Amino acid sequence: MSALKLKTNVVTAKWLSERLHNPQLVLLDASWHMQGSGRDGLTEYVEQHIAQAHFFDFDNEIAADSELPHMLPDAAKFEQAVRQFGINNDSIIVVYDSHGLFTAARVWWMFKAMGHDKVAVLNGGLPAWLAIDGELAAGNAPAVKPGLFIAKYQPQRVADKREVQLSLNAAGRVIVDSRGKARFSGVEADPNPQVASGHMPGAINLHYASLIESGKLVPPFILHQQFVDAGIDGNSRHIYSCGSGVTACIVALAAAEIGVQNWAVYDGSWSEWGSAADTVKVID
């Protein structure tokens, strides 16, 4: 069997169906739901998931020990955790979620941050798979031989609060906030009462939902125009932020698809910035 090759950051359900049982492929279900939704990603995974998929718990199991939600773990913890899925450094990883495109991008970014570029998101997620009558399974994940993945942390893909502070209104740097306009402007309060309203000084608002249609990332030429219309300089260093570091990864995925090279996700995002005493918050 010839080696798998991955040329894009998103793949179609058809592409996946033709390679589902390739031993080089590792499929991850990254489904996660907001508190109060009445839904649970792991419960739904056990009920139904794409055949061969493993459940990737980025919210608890594969996360840093932090007061902030689902922070990126260190390289040692990450590599030990993902080896249980049979992942090696030559593995081709495809990530999906039950929404279509929501949390899968977060796990895509985590692998990018850990030096693994052979990772893509299933465009349209589980709904797209169901639409082609793709092979399904239920119950626990399939047993696999542990992998030997070695993480190589890429600091250029991860921004912290200090970098964001130094980037405020700085030449050659742009902060992009993917929250909705009401949250961004401060009209709508943050769901967490301990987190202030508003946005970072000089930040540009690009709502992640504008990059998605019917649960799929829109074509690259439309993505490019969305960035241009928002006033985002493609040659600057981009720092993507959101509420807690999830939807910022959708913007990162879109940026990667249109060839942006110099970008990072602010892992703490507004959960950190809005609760910190030493940060400036702007309300429009």
Q: Which residue has the tokens 């309060």?
A: 189
pLDDT per residue, tens digit, the chain (284 aa), is 568 989 999 999 999 999 999 999 999 999 999 888 889 999 999 999 999 999 999 999 999 999 999 999 999 999 999 999 999 999 999 999 999 999 999 999 999 999 999 999 999 999 999 999 999 999 998 789 999 999 999 999 999 999 999 999 899 999 999 999 999 999 999 999 999 999 999 999 999 999 999 999 999 999 999 999 999 999 999 999 999 999 999 999 999 999 999 999 999 999 999 999 999 999 99
Q: Considering the domain 156-273 in this protein, what is its CATH number?
A: 3.40.250.10
Type of residue numbered 161: K
Structure confidence at residue 35 (pLDDT): 80
Strands (E) located in 20-157: 25-29, 49-50, 53-55, 92-96, 119-122, 136-137
Judge contact between 31 and 58, C-beta under 8 A. no
Q: Label residue 58 exposed, middle or buried (CB < 10 Å: 0-12, 13-18, 19+).
A: buried
Question: Exposure pattern of 149-167 as b/e (b: 16+ CB <10 Å)?
Answer: bebebeeebbbebebbbeb
Closest by alpha carbon to 94, among 15, 155, 147, 161? 15
Positions annotated as catalytic residues are 242
Structure confidence at residue 1 (pLDDT): 58
Structure confidence at residue 14 (pLDDT): 98
Q: Is 121 helix (H, G, I), strand (E, B) or coil?
A: strand
Q: Show me where the domains of the chain are located.
A: 10-153, 156-273
Q: Which CATH superfamily is domain 10-153 in?
A: Rhodanese-like domain (3.40.250.10)
Q: Is 249 helix (H, G, I), strand (E, B) or coil?
A: helix
Judge contact between 147 and 86, C-beta under 8 A. yes
Strands 212-213 and 216-217: antiparallel
Structure confidence at residue 37 (pLDDT): 84
